[in-house]
Structure formats: C-alpha cells, structure tokens
C-alpha cells in the first residue's frame, strides 16, 4: 500500500508540471489564413471529379456492351 502511494506521488510530481503545457493553447494571433479564398479546393477536387467521370464513363460503356 505504501509503495502504491509513493508511486502515485512520484507520478504526480512528474506529470503535474507538464499537464499545463499539454492542455494549453498555442501562443499566437489569428488563424493563419482566414479569408475563404485561401481554401485550396481545386487541388484535389478537380482530380477527383476527373476520376469520377472516367469511372462513370467506363461503367456506362460496359453496361452498353452487355445490353447489345
């Protein structure tokens, strides 16, 4: 029992000084890029759209071949 209390006390001495730093918010001002034009939607969205069109076209062609 006394060993468990010592371990708990030691753990408290080690963890409690770091707890404030782990839970604190970072120091800084406003977010790095607030206006909506900074959101990079075109980068992956156009590639995803192109892949969807290619996949849909291939499936449509496959269905036409099966029907004929």
Query: What tens digit of pLDDT does each residue of 30-68 get?
Result: 666 766 666 666 667 888 889 999 999 999 999 999 987
How far is Cα 31 from Cα 23, in angstroms, rounded to an integer? Answer: 19
How far is Cα 8 from Cα 20, in angstroms, rounded to an integer? Answer: 19
Report the predicted TM-score, pTM, of the whole model to 2 decimal places: 0.40
How far is Cα 57 from Cα 51, in angstroms, rounded to an integer? Answer: 10
User: Is the predicted pLDDT of residue 2 greater than 80, yes or no?
Assistant: yes
| Confidence class for position 15, pLDDT limits 50, 70, 90 | confident
């Amino acid at each position: 029992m006394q060993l468990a209390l010592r371990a708990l006390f030691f753990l408290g001495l080690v963890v409690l000084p770091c707890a404030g730093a782990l839970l604190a918010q970072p120091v800084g001002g406003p977010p790095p890029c607030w206006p909506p034009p900074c959101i990079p939607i075109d980068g992956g969205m156009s590639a995803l759209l192109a892949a969807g069109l290619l996949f849909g076209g291939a499936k449509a062609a496959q269905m036409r071949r099966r029907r004929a």
